[in-house]
Amino acid sequence: MKLFVVGSGGREHAIAKKLLESKDVEKVFVAPGNDGMTLDGLELVNISISEHSKLIEFAKVNDIAWTFIGPDDALAAGIVDDFNAAGLKAFGPTRLAAELEWSKDFAKEIMVKYGVPTAAYGTFSDFEEAKAYIEKQGAPIVVKADGLALGKGVVVAETVEQAVEAAHEMLLDNKFGDSGARVVIEKFLEGEEFSLFSFVNGDKFYIMPTAQDHKRAYDGDKGPNTGGMGAYAPVPHLAQNVVDTAVETIVKPVLEGMIKESRPYLGVLYAGLILTADGPKVIEFNARFGDPETQIILPRLTSDFAQNITDILDGKEPNITWTDKGVTLGVVVASNGYPLDYEKGVKLPTKTDGDIITYYAGAKFAENEQDLLSNGGRVYMLVTTAGTVKEAQSTIYQELGQQKTEGLFYRTDIGSKAIKD
């Protein structure tokens, strides 16, 4: 069968590469993809993610069995609804089910209604009211743009002044456009963050290994928030009973709630969680695979990925299996200046093989069609599986030390939270 993946980043590279390994899959197309993906035998289609009718036409003409939707903005724009209306299968939530991600206020309302543990909050579109709430609550406090902001619309404010400034930027200075026309302001939660992903169809769900992302740009969790600078899975110091609690108190009630709201969920549900003194609580939901977590979760899948998704789409029980070997860890290499202004066109090192996977996020062939050049904020990611976090770190950082990375940067401490001295 032939499959289609919509999106262009490292996440989509990992999804498409894994699908191509499945025994019944002859071809995987990616729209628009990036040139680095072609090194793994993936075929690029020059259609942007917003051109739904062209994507649908391509899927029909090329006899695509089903389409896997990667990015949040495509889901929020109703791409799955459009595919379904054209009689095509797509793996991802409808626009209304994806509102769990594209409106933080909606997600909060669902959590409150169905008793899911999360931080106390208020939602505001008026700056003066937001300011009064912040001054009453005190700091630290978290200010979030209600809509999609590429993972960057969240400010963890250490002071009241910082929080008021963030609310001002979103509500009055229009920093995130319509996405920041409302803000959700919530209590700061103390604890360790982790991600819990599930494959979902309605009230049936299949959880994946836990993962931990590293959002800040620089070592020691310093610098601005990014889309994510590295990750590892599973989180070795997270007890199984924490995961069990999260499933019972968070995943189940939310999925059952979405059915009651007539918005049944299909696709990948990402629960961004924090383990507090009172147990796991929700920081946010995303309506799709995370990036870079996908790149360290999918290499751990030992079953046939395409068959698993086909079964879930068909409402059959999938046979999903994971390796129990050690840890999978990955480090993102980004353009200097990311997540702010950055340059493109840096020549990239040769693709790794063997025990180290290279996933490309922003790469483009030079005019000679030989050299790969950087073409995005996050450029590529190196991923390996090893017995321990320390061994995985050593493999990746040794490789990065040998690569020419001028004009690029990476964090040198991915996974260190898992190492207890």
CATH 3.40.470.10 fits 2-94, yes or no: no
- Residues 182-209: what's their mean pLDDT? 95
Residue positions counted in the chain: 421
Most distant CA pair in the chain, distance: 60
pLDDT for the residue numbered 220? 95
Ranges of beta strands (E only) in 15-120 are 27-32, 43-44, 64-69, 90-91
CATH homologous superfamily of 327-418: Phosphoribosylglycinamide synthetase, C-terminal domain (3.90.600.10)
What is the C-alpha R_g of the chain? 21
Instruction: Spell out the residues 6+ positions from residue 109 whose beta carbon is closer than 8 angstroms to its own.
Output: none
Lowest-pLDDT choice from 7-16, 140-149, 189-198: 140-149
Q: How far apart, in Å, are the Cα atoms of 44 and each of 27, 31, 176? A: 11, 6, 30
Calpha distance 196→280 (Å, rounded): 11
Q: pLDDT, tens digit, for every residue of 9-62?
A: 999 999 999 999 999 999 999 999 999 999 999 999 999 999 999 999 999 999
In this prediction, residue 151 has a pLDDT band, given cuts at 50, 70 and 90, of low
Instruction: Assign 3-state DSSP to the chain and report helix, strand, coil percentages, each to 5.
Output: 35, 30, 40
Under DSSP, is residue 84 helix (H, G, I), strand (E, B) or coil?
helix
Calpha distance 259→269 (Å, rounded): 14
Q: In DSSP terms, which residues pair with 144 in a beta bridge?
A: 154, 184
Q: pLDDT, tens digit, for every residue of 284-305?
A: 999 999 999 999 999 999 999 9
Which residue type occupies 55?
L
Q: What DSSP designation does 403 have?
A: S
* Burial of residue 398, with CB atoms counted within 10 A of its CB: 0-12 exposed, 13-18 middle, 19 or more buried: exposed
Residue ranges of domains in the chain: 2-94, 120-187, 192-313, 327-418
Global confidence as pTM: 0.93
Q: pLDDT, tens digit, for every residue of 337-393?
A: 999 999 999 999 999 999 999 999 999 999 988 899 999 999 999 999 999 999 999
Q: pLDDT, tens digit, for every residue of 236-276?
A: 889 999 999 999 999 999 999 999 999 999 999 999 999 99
pLDDT for the residue numbered 300? 98
Calpha distance 331→34 (Å, rounded): 19
- Residues 120-144: what's their mean pLDDT? 92
Q: In DSSP terms, which residues pair with 282 in a beta bridge?
A: 118, 273
Which residue type occupies 78?
G
Calpha distance 312→319 (Å, rounded): 10
Tokens of 176: 């995130």
- Which overall architecture, per CATH, does domain 120-187 show? 2-Layer Sandwich (3.30)
Please say whether the beta carbons of 379 and 406 come within 8 A. no
- Helix (H) / strand (E) containing 189: none
Decide if pLDDT at 408 tops 80: yes
Please say whether the beta carbons of 76 and 98 come within 8 A. yes
Calpha distance 49→43 (Å, rounded): 16
Calpha distance 42→39 (Å, rounded): 7
Q: What DSSP designation does 46 have?
A: -
Q: How far apart, in Å, are the Cα atoms of 221 and each of 92, 218, 228, 230, 399? A: 31, 6, 11, 12, 23
Q: What fold is seen in the domain 192-313?
A: D-amino Acid Aminotransferase; Chain A, domain 1 (3.30.470)
